[in-house]
Structure 1
């Protein structure tokens, strides 16, 4: 199966629309969101086209295709307007035969990993940086931020297709799209 994975939309209708188009055009089976969906938080500037109500409408249009975890900027009140569950601090998925521990990154992180076995993957957002590496046999993955990237990176998202995890810039459909980082899992 094919999955689109993204994090840190932070209420940007502009990037939520772009992510929705990527999901639609990709043929992916599910959209996995790693938290911080509607609000920007006190440390971030407002993202482009900040419109949480519009983001709610966009994401609810994909409610049957979304798996999500809670970010540090997500609250119980957000769950009241979103038609898919977001309040879990983490989820464990078996995707294409690989165990993924999905978390936003503010509780569990690469520096505070849950109990994991070699060959499993830890995937999170939160730091707004794209990461695809293997440390001590555990895959550490982060799609970067769709709306407020850091470290000079472009807005980004990732694709898990089979055992290949690829991070792409979130660009307009007509723009050339080379990958930022890529890793083969397993």
Structure 2
């Protein structure tokens, strides 16, 4: 199963369009949205092309293929615009070799882990910083931000294909970092 991940769109229509273009061309079965979809939040500047209602419309076209979690900037009012659920603080995807624990990152993160088994993966957003690494017995994966990247990184998204989690640049589809689910070092 091929999955695509995006986090921290923050109402940016250009970022949403790029995410959906990558999703369409990736061949992924599901688009996993890791929160902070429509609003920019009080600590962020307005992202380029801030149009939350238009972002909701574009995402709604893909509603049957979206799995989402609630970010700290998402609200019940946002849910009223979206045709897929976003109010769960976490979701899980069971894979043959592990569990993917999906969350935004403000409640659960590498320093505050949920109950996970050896080999499971914490998939989160919130920091706007890409991460793809093993931290002890748990893999940590953050696709970075689609609209307001931080730490000198480019806007990015994530892919899971053939047992490898990859962070890719949104603009030119370049590999930033990756981690294998089997624990074998696959860093670049």
**Equivalent residue number for residue 181 of structure 2:** 185
The number of residue pairs the alignment matches comes to 182
Q: Residues of 2 paired with 1:95 and 1:19: CA distance?
A: 24
1:96–1:162 CA contact under 8 A, matched in 2: no
Shift of 1:98: 2.2
Shift of 1:96: 5.2
The verdict on how the C-alpha distance between 1:12 and 1:92 changes in structure 2, with shifts beyond 3 A counting, is same
> Structure 1: which 5+ residue stretches go unaligned?
none
The reply on whether 1:122 has 2:122 as its aligned counterpart is yes
1:96–1:163 CA contact under 8 A, matched in 2: no
Shift of 1:162: 2.4
Structure-1-length-normalised TM-score: 0.96
SS for the counterpart of 2:22 is: helix
The verdict on how the C-alpha distance between 1:96 and 1:65 changes in structure 2, with shifts beyond 3 A counting, is farther
**Equivalent residue number for residue 85 of structure 2:** 85
Q: Residues of 1 paired with 2:17 and 2:151: CA distance?
A: 24
1:33–1:69 CA contact under 8 A, matched in 2: yes
CA deviation vs aligned residue, 1:60-115 (integer Å, no higher than 9, x gap): 00000000000000001111110000000011111454201110000111110011
> Counterparts of 1:31-180 in structure 2 under 5 Å?
31-95=31-95, 97-171=97-171, 175=172, 177-180=173-176
CA deviation vs aligned residue, 1:38-75 (integer Å, no higher than 9, x gap): 00000000101000011001100000000000000000
SS for the counterpart of 1:116 is: coil
Q: Over aligned residue pairs, what C-alpha RMSD do you find?
A: 0.9
Runs of 4+ in 1 over 2 A off after TM superposition: 95-98
Structure-2-length-normalised TM-score: 0.95
